[in-house]
């Protein structure tokens, strides 16, 4: 399939599909988006009209039954990821699935097992994109001993920089039946930190739903079962500890993201100020303060998800961002956080 045209079917066409995946696929040579199935035929037709997609399907089954579709892009909410991924692989289609991978680890493992039964098919999870420009540099600094042994990772993330607002609309991310054990943008940050320092081996989490309930579109009062303020602490497999705070209800959070990696010989900081761009700095023992780190252009990553997916189908490169095995690792951690929140106790990984 190196030179053959690859035909893509879209199942779900939310914001990321429209803003990233459709333009990304269109930039690839000999790739066509041939069909779309959305939550309703009318919404699917709107996508087809906007982007010039020839076929609107009445349901996802129609996309998978089409012998002209070589690969599918799954852009639904997490509650459908397992069903669609397994069905697509069984239908002989390559799969790229929007993050988060699944509702929980069990779903992720089912997806991984289905992909392992079809080794000739490519299976990819859309990666956490926010740190791609810095990942290789941070990973090489940590692995190369630039800061010595890791003592601690300290991360504070503003999922939203806002005070609690019970009048805000119910989002699908507030609904455990649709989102599963995923909490705010907790998982995408853990995925990024895994690239730098590996996995955690213990998890202790506390959290709360500061906004206790919201009103849905029909005026019904809906309990918020997914926390909007979470603290996670634990040990890293490679040594050292992690402290990780994510909140969407802290109005004067000083930064959008502030992550320190403290070591025995130095410190790395990845920081995004309010209203500013993310930047990397570092310092060695004896330095008065941290200094900016210039990213070597040859090591600067970026968004190339669709290119990687197409190249993998053509046998030109492997999937690195993100394969199903990696996806299961962050789903396992997400499940561990959920268990700790519910049981009010430490959880040891692997589960």
Give tens-digit pLDDT for 287-308.
999 999 999 999 999 999 999 9
H/E stretch holding 346: none
pLDDT of 206 above 90: yes
What integer pLDDT is reported at residue 2 of this predicted model?
A: 57
- Quote the mean pLDDT of the chain: 97
pLDDT of 113 above 60: yes
Place of tokens 């399907």: 57
Average pLDDT score over residue span 190-217: 97
How many residues can be counted in the chain? Answer: 351
**DSSP symbols for 224-236:** --S-SEEEEEEEB
What integer pLDDT is reported at residue 218 of this predicted model?
A: 92
Give tens-digit pLDDT for 129-170.
999 999 999 999 999 999 999 999 999 999 999 999 999 999
Q: How far apart are the first and last CA of the chain?
A: 39
Alpha helices in the chain (DSSP H): 15-16, 22-26, 41-51, 60-65, 81-90, 105-116, 132-143, 176-179, 186-197, 305-313, 324-343
What integer pLDDT is reported at residue 1 of this predicted model?
A: 52
Exposed, middle or buried, 21 (CB in 10 Å: 0-12/13-18/19+)?
Answer: buried
pLDDT of 238 above 70: yes
What integer pLDDT is reported at residue 261 of this predicted model?
A: 98
DSSP state of 17: I
Name the CA dihedral angle for 304, 307, 309, 314, rounded to a multiple of 10 degrees: -150
Give tens-digit pLDDT for 304-351.
999 999 999 999 999 999 999 999 999 999 999 999 999 999 999 999
Closest CA to 190 of 12, 44, 336: 336
pLDDT of 198 above 80: yes
As given in the structure block, the two tokens for residue 30 are: 């000999």
Give tens-digit pLDDT for 53-109.
999 999 999 999 999 999 999 999 999 999 999 999 999 999 999 999 999 999 999
Task: Give the whole-angstrom CA distance, residue 175 versus residue 171.
Answer: 7
Name the CA dihedral angle for 334, 236, 257, 253, rounded to a multiple of 10 degrees: 80
**Domains located in the chain, CATH noted:** 6-128+304-322 (3.40.50.720), 132-301 (3.30.360.10)
As given in the structure block, the two tokens for residue 235 are: 């040990």
What integer pLDDT is reported at residue 3 of this predicted model?
A: 65
């Amino acid at each position: 399939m190196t030179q053959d045209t690859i035909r893509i079917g879209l199942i779900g066409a939310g914001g990321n599909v429209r803003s990233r995946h459709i333009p990304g696929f269109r930039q690839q040579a000999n790739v066509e988006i041939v069909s779309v199935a959305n939550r309703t035929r009318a919404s699917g037709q709107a996508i087809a009209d906007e982007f010039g997609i020839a076929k609107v399907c009445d349901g996802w089954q129609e996309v998978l039954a089409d012998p002209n579709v070589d690969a599918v892009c799954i852009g639904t909410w997490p509650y459908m990821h397992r069903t669609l991924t397994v069905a697509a692989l069984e239908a002989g289609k390559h799969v790229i699935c929007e993050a988060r991978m699944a509702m929980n680890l069990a779903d992720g493992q089912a997806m991984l097992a289905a992909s392992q039964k079809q080794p000739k098919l490519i299976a990819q999870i859309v990666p956490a994109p926010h740190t791609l420009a810095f990942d290789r540099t941070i990973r090489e600094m940590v692995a190369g001993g630039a800061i010595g042994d890791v003592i601690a990772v300290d991360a504070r993330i503003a999922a939203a920089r806002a005070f609690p607002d019970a009048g805000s609309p119910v989002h699908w991310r507030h609904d455990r039946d649709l989102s599963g054990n995923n909490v705010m943008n907790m998982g995408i940050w853990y995925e990024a930190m895994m690239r730098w320092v590996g996995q955690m081996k213990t998890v202790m989490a506390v959290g709360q739903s500061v906004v206790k309930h919201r009103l849905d579109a029909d005026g019904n009062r809906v309990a918020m079962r997914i926390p909007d303020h979470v603290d996670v602490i634990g040990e890293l497999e490679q040594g050292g500890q992690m402290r990780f705070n994510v909140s969407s209800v802290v109005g004067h959070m000083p930064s959008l993201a502030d992550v320190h990696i403290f070591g025995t010989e130095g410190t790395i900081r990845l920081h995004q100020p309010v209203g500013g761009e993310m930047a990397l700095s570092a310092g060695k023992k004896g330095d008065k303060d941290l200094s900016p780190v210039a990213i070597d252009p040859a090591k600067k990553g970026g968004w190339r998800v669709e290119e990687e997916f197409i190249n993998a189908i053509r046998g030109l490169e492997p999937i690195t961002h993100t394969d199903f095995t990696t996806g299961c690792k962050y789903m396992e951690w997400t499940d561990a956080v959920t268990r700790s929140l519910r049981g009010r106790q430490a959880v040891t990984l692997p589960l």
